Every structure is written in structure tokens, then in C-alpha cells.
Amino acid sequence: MTSIDRTRPRRLPYSVGVLTLLGAFSFVATLACDTFERTPGEVADLEGTAPSEQLSGTVSPTPTTATQPGPNAPPSAMVSVHVFDTAGRLVGPLSVPEIERSDAEWRELLSDEQFRILRSSGTERAFCGTLLDNKKEGVYACAGCGLPLFASDSKFKSGTGWPSFFQPIAPGNVAELVDKSHGMVRTEINCARCAGHLGHVFEDGPPPTGLRFCLNSESLNFTEADRLAELADPAATGASATDSAAPETATLVFAGGCFWCVEAVFEELAGVREAISGYAGGSADTANYRAVCSGTTGHAEAVRITYEPAKISYEQLLRVHLATHDPTTLNRQGADVGTQYRSAIFYADETEKRTAERILDEAARTGAFSKPIVTTLEPLGTFYPAESSHQNYVCLNPNQGYVQSVAWPKVKKVREKFSGLLKETSPLER
């Protein structure tokens, strides 16, 4: 068949509207979660205050457990997380409702210091946290809702003055969002279930992830390894440690410009078993490259991703997608123009739809992009795999002009921005 030539020189420069850490602020990574998170008034209030007056937590407080919303509460959005069962085993991923409470309700559950940090994005003073030097084996859970967040085997001494970990206990339990406060651009980390502020994550950690999750002690409760059954969550009822109820693999479909590029990006991620280029949004009779390139079929060049939820979550994959293409240009990615190059998330069910809506709303609310996001949310109909000549294209054609100028920069971006999510060996390097 006749194919559209993508080897021609592009008259317009390719660009992606992705938020990156600016070089001028690179020093922030070495300062971790310090008093840049505070207002000048908060810093002044703490100076000269005895550490015993600044902290209210203990090493092993009674864990806070999740409670169900009242009968008149509106339906909550769902998140996919791992929790402990009554045998002290981590199970999941399980779909659980987000926890939303009023400030008055949170104040009843939390100490003043916990409320200031978890609900008002505060920061405790360096080297003062009760969990900084804790060397016991166990699990660190959210002080607001009891969701397990980090395990002791990923804790390390960073020298920054705050408890530091190189990875969460499970994909999806820790949410990330852009923090542009205090004239800087950082990645804030929150509890995925109750949105409690935990700290920030930086790309200066040890192997194997290269990440440093910088936490406030007051945002955490520690439970020793022989008492993990105390963290049992109602959502774990009927689940097992092997998680027979949860699928070993799941699939999703994203569109973000040329499918060669999108496929290459997601092939880099640990937990992604397969990425297939294809077409979504149109009918079977027009699901071919020549027809789709006309821009009149309703199809988008899309990629079907098969992944392991136990290793990488739907939310993490969504964040990678938004960060590696430009979600602010309508029916266009760089010099590729047409509805087939639209930014789209094809959702398979209401849970995926609500998760995508939440991530898109968060990106808009935090100003992650300088222009409005135009990514469409579309129900997933039939996904049609593309012709064999389009599969694994970047790997098989690394020196092709379009690949060099458009696809490779996106691959480099995912490697730089999501170093903790990468496969040990890139498929492109084999």
C-alpha cells in the first residue's frame, strides 16, 4: 500500500509542552523538603522553638484506619492501591474510594502538627522528625488514613534531615503532582487515598531507582514488621497475597501524536509488557494507515499498552503520557497536524474515566502547563492494530530522520523524568 512519507524535512520545530525542572532551581534537589515549603511567617515562628514543642508524634502511634463516608456523602472517586489484609500481607491492587473530609473532621482526627503538614502542606524542621533515625523493620503508613506508603527496606540515610526512601511500598499508593510554590517547580508527593501532603520527590537518590522520596515524620505512622496485621484494611476482605482477584495484566489505550513515538516511550517502562501501535475512535473499514492519514476517519493514531498493575499503576502511566507529549495543542503534535494526531485517553470503564479526570483536573489546577489542556476523554470502542510495518518502528529504524528528530527526544524525556520507572535494559538498546 502507499504510505505517507514522514522522512520529509519539517518546516516547524517540534516542541512538547512538558513541565521540567529548570536548571536555575537545580539546587532545590539537595535541599530536599526544607523550609522553602514554609511561608516566612512560619519559619520565623519556628526559630528559637524547642524541638519538643515543634513535634507531637511518636514512633509507633495507633494507626489511623479508613472510615466509610456517611450515607449522604456524594460518591467518591476511586483509586487503585495496595493494602494489608488481616494476616499482615500486602494485597492488591484494589479499587478503593478516595477519602474526603472537612477541615473540622480532620482536626478531630489529627494533632495540630499533623494537620499543619498533611492538610496545609507544612514542613517539619530538619533533623527534628521522630522517624528520621528509626531503624526498625516495618511499614510507614499515612497518618491521615492508614494507607501503607513505604517499607523500611527502602529507607536510607540521605543526610538531608528528613526520612528518605528510594521507592514507595507499591505502585499507586503515592500520588505525585506539580508544586510551583515559592518560585520553584518541584514534584510534591501525597497519599493517593486521602491526598495528605507527605513531602517531595527528587532525582538524587540511590539505586535502583535514583529517586529520593523526602517525607515529614508527622505525615507517617510506623508499624513494626510483626504487627502489620494491625494495618488491615476493610478493602482487603477476600483478597489474597497473590491477588487472585486482581488481573495479572491490564490494558489501556492512549493517543498523543505519532504512534511510533508513543509506543517507544511506553516500551521503556518496567511493568509494561507490550505496546502495540494502532487506531482507535473510528470504524473497521477505515482502520488503515492511508485512510487514517486523511484525518477524516475519526481514528487517532493510538497505542494499546499491556501492563502489570502490581508493578506500575494506571495513574503512573497517565502521568507519563501527559509528560511526554503536548496535551495543549488541538489535533496536533509539533508538525504533525490532523485529528489523527489528537491527544486522547480512551477509557475502558468508569474507574479509568474518573482517574483520568482527576489527573487532568489536577494538572489544570496546579498550572502544570502554560496553556489549557485539550486532551479528550473518549470511551474505548474497538482498538485496531496497525500494519506490521508500524510495529516496533523506533527500535527497528533508530536512524530514520523522523525518529531522530521527534521520537528520540521523547524517549530521552521519559528516561530523565521517570528514571525510577524504567526497565533495567531499554528495548531500544538491545
Residues 87-125 have pLDDT tens digits of 888 888 888 899 999 999 999 999 999 999 999 999 999
- Over residues 362-380, mean pLDDT: 92
**Higher pLDDT pick, 423 / 4:** 423
Digit-coded pLDDT (tens) for 131-163: 999 999 999 999 999 999 999 999 999 999 999
Strand order in the sheet with 343-347: 376-379, 343-347, 250-256, 300-307, 272-280, 384-385
**Higher pLDDT pick, 54 / 153:** 153
Percent of the chain with pLDDT over 90: 61
- Over residues 44-61, mean pLDDT: 33
> Which CATH number is 23-236 given?
2.170.150.20
Q: Rounded to the nearest 10 degrees, what angle do helices 350-365 and 314-323 cross at?
A: 40
Digit-coded pLDDT (tens) for 241-294: 444 445 688 999 999 999 999 999 999 999 999 999 999 999 999 999 999 999
Active site members? 214, 258
Residue 350's pLDDT is 86
Digit-coded pLDDT (tens) for 69-88: 444 555 567 888 999 998 88
β strands within 250-338, DSSP E: 250-256, 272-280, 300-307, 332-333, 336-337
Q: Is the pLDDT of residue 55 over 50?
A: no
| Residue 259, all three cell numbers | 504512534
| Residue 73, all three cell numbers | 456523602
Q: Is the pLDDT of residue 334 over 90?
A: yes
Residue 76's pLDDT is 64
Radius of gyration of the chain (CA): 23
Residue 302's pLDDT is 98
Rounded Cα gap, residues 79 and 351, in angstroms: 8
Residue 93's pLDDT is 84
Question: What residue ranges do the domains of the chain occupy?
Answer: 23-236, 250-429
**Higher pLDDT pick, 338 / 366:** 338
Rounded Cα gap, residues 197 and 108, in angstroms: 17
Cβ proximity of 88 and 63 under 8 Å: no
Judging by DSSP bridges, how do beta strands 343-347 and 376-379 pair with one another? parallel
Residues in the chain: 430
Instruction: Give the residue among 360, 419, 40, 345 at the shortest CA–CA distance from 178.
Output: 360
Residue 374's pLDDT is 97
Q: Do 23-236 and 250-429 come out as alike in CATH topology?
A: no
Residue 25's pLDDT is 33
Residue 235's pLDDT is 85
Residue 309's pLDDT is 87
- Over residues 407-425, mean pLDDT: 92
Return the CATH class of domain 250-429: alpha beta
Peptide bond just before 93 cis, omega within 30 deg: yes
Centre a 10 Å sphere on the Cβ of residue 135 and count the other Cβ atoms it contains.
7
Residue 26's pLDDT is 34
Q: Please state the φ and ψ torsions of residue 226, each to the nearest 5 degrees.
A: -85, 5
Q: Is the pLDDT of residue 420 over 90?
A: no
| Residue 90, all three cell numbers | 500486602
Q: What mean pLDDT value characterizes the chain?
A: 82
Digit-coded pLDDT (tens) for 281-322: 999 999 999 999 999 999 999 999 999 988 888 989 999 999
Residue 126's pLDDT is 94
Q: How crowded is the C-beta side of 375, counted as CA atoms within 13 Å?
A: 29
Residue 207's pLDDT is 84
Q: Is the pLDDT of residue 68 over 80?
A: no
Cβ proximity of 233 and 324 under 8 Å: no
- Over residues 395-409, mean pLDDT: 95
